[in-house]
Amino acid sequence: MERHSKLKTHLAVWSGASRRGLFVLVVMGVLSCMSNTAYSIPSLRVEISSISSKLIQKQKALNSSQDLVNPAHRFNVSSMASSTSFAGIISEDSYAFGHKEDLGFSIFLDRRCKRVWFIRHAEAQHNVAEREHELGSLVLLQENSGWTYWDAGLTVAGQAQCGRLRREIEALPHPLDLELVVVSPLTRTLQTAMRTVPPSLHDVPFVATELCRERVTSCPADSRRPVSVLKKEFPAVDFSEVRTDEDLMFECMKEDSDACKQRGIKFLQWLAKRPETRIAVVTHSGFLKRLFEQFGMDIARDDQDELHRRPANCEMRGLLLCAHRHFSDVPGAENWVDTSI
């Protein structure tokens, strides 16, 4: 395995207070297989950034005016606000973590955190067309190529990328010990998941959800085949989270960047409600771009660049997802959040 010399190795806290919820993302490392080159970026040092000046100021004021050891002043996390609007966040949300900017550390409650490995799908047929055709990405439009790249599958090179990433994962000094694999219901992500984390080698459930599919555009490459067909091709995957057999999202709606960002936060809320704490997510670069760019605007520039850059095909990026509030999975509960599409 070849180390990539240009990328700095460190652990960084990436925070974001979005309009749809409150989370912190912490990068744990990057593992990528591009062409014949693989590189791993371990976490070597700690660099803490500003979480949110507004929340920090509130917490400092509360810490100086209240004795948090006093039971009367302890915050009951079970009563945390369920509002998904950042404007409605109350100061108690900051008690889900302890941030000491002057000391250079943040402490998060273990039960609030999940290890999540985000994997972009391996090279697919439409990626090659986009790269090699003179029209570039415009070749994928229906008026230029029809349905040629509808729900495009992996190329031979993409299949090889999956094999290399799987071997790199198996060679890690500490196993991932995955409890769940979440996958977009498009063919290229399903194939990547099956070839990278084979169900036969890991006793772990595979769940498909449209919450992490690619941004819905007018390109047939971003549309999926019917679930009834996908179930036969990928029998190990649980498609119960996909509500319709046909791709009604592609037929009935198109997403701009803001809509995709909102869906991304819904996806984080869905993950936060899951019982599993070690999760792999096989998804798409466009979705990841719009998800991650909502976080880390106030951190060191090199860390920001690492979070926001476009992932390579079959690149795995490990993060910590820290939820500042509880998201109930019980409809009607005070802290229940509807994450359906």
Q: In this structure, what CATH number is given to the domain that contains residue 211?
A: 3.40.50.1240
pLDDT band at 192 (very low <50, low <70, confident <90, very high): very high
**Which of the following is catalytic: 10, 121, 284, 326?**
121
In the prediction, which pLDDT does 97 show?
Answer: 61
**Which of the following is catalytic: 214, 255, 306, 315?**
214
What torsion, rounded to 10 degrees, do the Cα atoms 335, 115, 124, 189 define? -50
Q: How many domains does the chain have?
A: 1
In this structure, the chain runs to a length of 341
Q: CA-to-CA distance for 4 and 27, rounded, in angstroms?
A: 17
In the prediction, which pLDDT does 327 show?
Answer: 74
Task: Give residue 195's domain range.
Answer: 27-45+116-323
Structural domain contains residue 300: yes
In the prediction, which pLDDT does 264 show?
Answer: 94
Is residue 203 classed exposed, middle or buried when 0-12, 13-18 and 19+ CB atoms within 10 A define those classes? exposed
214 in catalytic set: yes
Structural domain contains residue 53: no
pLDDT band at 28 (very low <50, low <70, confident <90, very high): low
Structural domain contains residue 296: yes
126 in catalytic set: no
**pLDDT, tens digit (0-9, with 9 covering 90-100), for 271-328:** 999 999 999 999 999 999 999 988 877 777 777 888 888 889 999 999 989 887 777 7
Among 176, 196, 188, 198, smallest CA distance to 220 is for 188
pLDDT band at 201 (very low <50, low <70, confident <90, very high): low
What DSSP designation does 10 have? -
**pLDDT, tens digit (0-9, with 9 covering 90-100), for 37-76:** 443 433 322 332 333 444 444 444 444 444 333 333 333 3
> Can you tell me the mean pLDDT for 176-184?
94
